[in-house]
Amino acid sequence: MSATTNNSGEGASALSLFDSRIASRAARDAFAKLDPRRLMRNPVIFVTEIVAILTTIIGVQDLFTHAAHPAFALAIAVWLWMTVLFATFAEAMAEGRGRARAESLRRARNDMMAKRVPNPDDPALYGTVSSTDLRLGDVVLVETGDLIPLDGEIIKGIASINESAITGESAPVIREAGGDRSAVTGGTMVVSDSLLVRITAEPGHTFIDRMIALVEGASRSKTPNEIALDILLAGLTIIFLVAVVTLVGFAHYSGTTLPVPVLAALLVTLIPTTIGGLLSAIGIAGMDRLVRFNVVATSGRAVEAAGDVDTLLLDKTGTITFGNRMAAAFYPVPGIDEARLAEAAAMASLGDETPEGRSVHVLAREKFGVAPVAPAGSTPVPFSANTRLSGLDAGERSWRKGAVDSLLAAVGEARPPLAFTAAVERIARSGGTPLAVAEDGRLLGVIELKDVVKPGIRDRFAALRRMGIRTVMVTGDNRITAAAIASEAGVDDFVAEATPQDKLDYIRAAQAEGRLVAMCGDGTNDAPALAQADVGVAMQTGTQAAREAANMVDLDSDPTKLIEIVEIGKQLLITRGALTTFSIANDIAKYFAILPAIFVVAYPGLSALNVMHLSTPQSAILSAVIFNAVVIIALVPLALKGVSFKAISAASMLRRNLLIYGLGGILVPFAGIKIIDMLLTAFHIFA
């Protein structure tokens, strides 16, 4: 299933895989990362560097002592250093991409002046101070054209705010005191009106500051899976180290001398340097992919957890449905044509600017080409809570729509036709809202209004089900309405008439069964459930409490993006697993390249294992070392971009990756080592 989120930020922030400025800085940073104190965090590459140092020393000694093959030892040393450099370059590239994305955020974080209000009841009396002097709990006044100095909660007012510095979306949004859209972010601009904002973050600890640290990788800690994989790679390194050391005794027994550079080459080509060199880059790139979708994760652990999620809690309104009741069908009474009912309904809606009213026009136009114009001198009749009716008056003519019982009473229809009553009951049972229509005091029929399920959402849930993810709709609607929407959307379960405690209880029950749960929310009442969920996604438009409780924040405030977040998490895990498989599978070809080269003199029969027909033992060993280094840089784009993800079962995905990266990991080195050997032979290098 492709990620189809409509995200303006992604295109704006897209970077080429090898941007020249990022690549040039990454090349410089790669040398700085050679510091052994930094490389100790990566045991595989650390061992490679130690071996490279040892081989370099031996090569230099051989050069000055006029040993038999000093150039061979130095050549091995050079390519061992290249292996380490390519690994540090991969990590520097991933960090560089995050650093580039942080530059625009830094521009929004610049020091600015703020209007601090000592007494919120009298905002006209304010003092101008630097934003760095503001403290938690201070109240500031922001007016048209002002930048909001720090993160805060609106305590008074309503205003239009430009959040393009954060989200990349140029269209301003409405923020107001109270409710779930009261949080504002430092660095955003007030476009109209004014607000009183209570500061909720100290300088240096704002949302933008946290974003900068996260996208640059400065605060990225290793996830549990990364730690487990590090332990596995360290274990494999120790095993191969012991195996190589034992070869010294075996060679001595068989009358063969194994030079240290040859042992170094064998060790480095057998330990999993490919995944060891790319592991950190994969993790950083996973967070970078989230940032491209305008989602900020507070830790790599959250991204990884998203890949393991097997239960999704989604709000009905705005996520599964459009959130507004929309006209879905016309049901005329006997003797009335459906087109006439549609025209009358459209006339009655000419003065109705609500989403429901506009949807009546859309449905009438799409089905019958009806696009009525209000007659001259006509008067709209606005909806009234007393009459529960609205419509249009034009001289002696009138059109009305509204609640069924109110309209029947208004037209004096004590016993409506059975077809009308049946249609009303059918609409109500399906969770919709019936809206009666009359023209000139005569009942014409009923409009079905319902919360329309978003197109394609059923297919997306089906794809999630194939991946083993259970979808749960959460709504405050009654069970009848909830069941109808759940059936149409294709979710696996639903929670009707849900309270904040119901959400929390559901998450706890699912986790008690061993499930990993993700949910999204934007209100203060969602905070407990967001904190309890394994992956909690808060909307940027939501309250400060929701954003603090969640471990991800969606800058576009699009609840459906939860599905894309799960896909990105799974892509991270798949990429890590695929490259680990490829790295380990590489060893088979290296056995056929190096072992015959080492022991062919003592055991001539081993020449049968030289299936690649490599020219000389020195050429075979050097070709394997060169391939071992080059494959790291060749896989950097895949580590940064990620392995392509498809919504298929885990078993199918395993077969697919084993075929591509397992079988490919076996075959590619055979071809690669042979090509390198042919080049060395062509240039008469150790041939």
Closest CA to 136 of 200, 203, 205, 210: 200
Helix, strand, coil percentages for the chain (3-state, nearest 5): 55, 15, 30
Q: Which SS3 state, helix, strand or coil, does residue 519 take?
A: strand
80 with 226, same domain: the answer is yes
542 with 588, same domain: the answer is no
**Structure tokens that stand for 600 in this block:** 């062919």
Neighbours of 143 (CB within 10 A): 14
Amino acid at 305: A
Taking every pair of C-alpha atoms in the chain, what is the biggest distance, in angstroms? 116
Contacts of 532 (CB under 8 A, 6+ apart): 504, 507, 508, 511
Beta strands 397-402 and 433-439 are: antiparallel
Model pLDDT, residue 252: 85
Indicate whether 118 belongs to any domain. Answer: no
Euclidean distance between CA atoms 509 and 493, whole angstroms: 14
Model pLDDT, residue 383: 84
Euclidean distance between CA atoms 383 and 381, whole angstroms: 7
88 with 221, same domain: the answer is yes
* Domain termination site, one of 401, 427, 452: 452
93 with 233, same domain: the answer is yes
Judge whether 401 is annotated as a binding position.
Answer: yes
Strands (E), 292-388: 295-297, 311-315, 321-332, 379-381
Burial of 489 (0-12, 13-18, 19+ CB in 10 A): buried
**CA separation, residue 598 to residues 232, 241, 255, 609, 673 (Å):** 28, 17, 12, 12, 16
Active-site residue, selected from the candidate residues 146, 310, 315, 556:
315
**Could you tell me the residue range of the domain that residue 180 belongs to?**
135-200
Euclidean distance between CA atoms 365 and 325, whole angstroms: 18
Strand partners, 327: 449
447 with 463, same domain: the answer is no
Sheet arrangement for strand 442-453: 321-332, 442-453, 433-439, 397-402, 389-394, 379-381
Strand partners, 116: 127, 140
161 with 240, same domain: the answer is no
Please give the distance of CA 680 from its chain centroid, rounded to a whole number.
45
Euclidean distance between CA atoms 524 and 506, whole angstroms: 18
**Structure tokens that stand for 209 in this block:** 């500051």
Helices (H), 155-223: 164-167, 207-216
Model pLDDT, residue 384: 80
Place of tokens 């042992």: 263
Euclidean distance between CA atoms 133 and 116, whole angstroms: 10
Place of tokens 């030079």: 259
* Domain termination site, one of 555, 588, 613: 555
Euclidean distance between CA atoms 450 and 431, whole angstroms: 7
Model pLDDT, residue 503: 86
CATH number at residue 374: 3.40.1110.10
184 with 312, same domain: the answer is no
Secondary structure of 123-158 in the HEC alphabet? CCCCEEEEHHHCCCCCEEEECCCCECCCCEEEEECE
Judge whether 356 is annotated as a binding position.
Answer: yes
CATH number at residue 162: 2.70.150.10
487 with 443, same domain: the answer is no
Strands (E), 298-342: 311-315, 321-332
CA atoms within a 13 Å half-sphere pointing along the CA-CB vector of 499: 3
Indicate whether 113 belongs to any domain. Answer: no
Model pLDDT, residue 102: 64
Indicate whether 116 belongs to any domain. Answer: no
Strands (E), 185-238: 189-192, 195-199
Tell me if the pTM is above 0.85. Answer: no
What are the counts of helices (DSSP H) followed by strands (DSSP E) for the chain?
25, 22
Check if the beta carbon of residue 206 is closer than 8 Å to that of residue 150. yes
Model pLDDT, residue 620: 95
Segments of the chain with pLDDT less than 70 = 1-18, 67-68, 98, 100-111, 165-171, 179-180, 208, 210-223, 299-300, 318, 323, 541, 559, 687
Indicate whether 49 belongs to any domain. Answer: yes
Indicate whether 311 belongs to any domain. Answer: yes
Residue 315 known to be catalytic: yes
Check if the beta carbon of residue 329 is closer than 8 Å to that of residue 448. yes
39 with 61, same domain: the answer is yes
Judge whether 384 is annotated as a binding position.
Answer: yes
* Domain termination site, one of 517, 532, 555: 555
C-alpha torsion angle, residues 350, 354, 355, 360 (rounded to 10):
-30
Model pLDDT, residue 378: 92
Judge whether 387 is annotated as a binding position.
Answer: yes
Euclidean distance between CA atoms 619 and 126, whole angstroms: 78
309 with 403, same domain: the answer is no
Amino acid at 503: K
Indicate whether 416 belongs to any domain. Answer: yes
Beta strands 517-521 and 379-381 are: unpaired
Indicate whether 653 belongs to any domain. Answer: yes
Indicate whether 208 belongs to any domain. Answer: no
Judge whether 389 is annotated as a binding position.
Answer: yes
Rg for the chain (alpha carbons), in Å? 33
574 with 490, same domain: the answer is no
CATH number at residue 502: 3.40.50.1000
Model pLDDT, residue 9: 39
DSSP characters over 529-558? HHHHSSEEEEETTS-HHHHHH-SEEETT--
Judge whether 385 is annotated as a binding position.
Answer: yes
Judge whether 386 is annotated as a binding position.
Answer: yes
220 with 95, same domain: the answer is yes
**CA separation, residue 563 to residues 130, 417, 491, 559, 686 (Å):** 41, 46, 13, 9, 55
Neighbours of 37 (CB within 10 A): 7
Q: Which SS3 state, helix, strand or coil, does residue 80 take?
A: helix
Domain total in the chain: 4
CA angle 422/423/425 to nearest 5° reads: 65
Euclidean distance between CA atoms 559 and 313, whole angstroms: 11
Check if the beta carbon of residue 77 is closer than 8 Å to that of residue 267. no
Using a CB cutoff of 8 Å and minimum separation of 24, what contacts does 460-467 make? 460/1, 460/563, 461/489, 461/490, 461/491, 461/492, 462/490, 463/1, 463/647, 464/1, 464/312, 464/563, 464/566, 464/647, 465/492, 466/647, 466/648, 466/649, 467/570, 467/647, 467/648, 467/649, 467/650
Contacts of 571 (CB under 8 A, 6+ apart): 286, 289, 307, 642, 643, 645
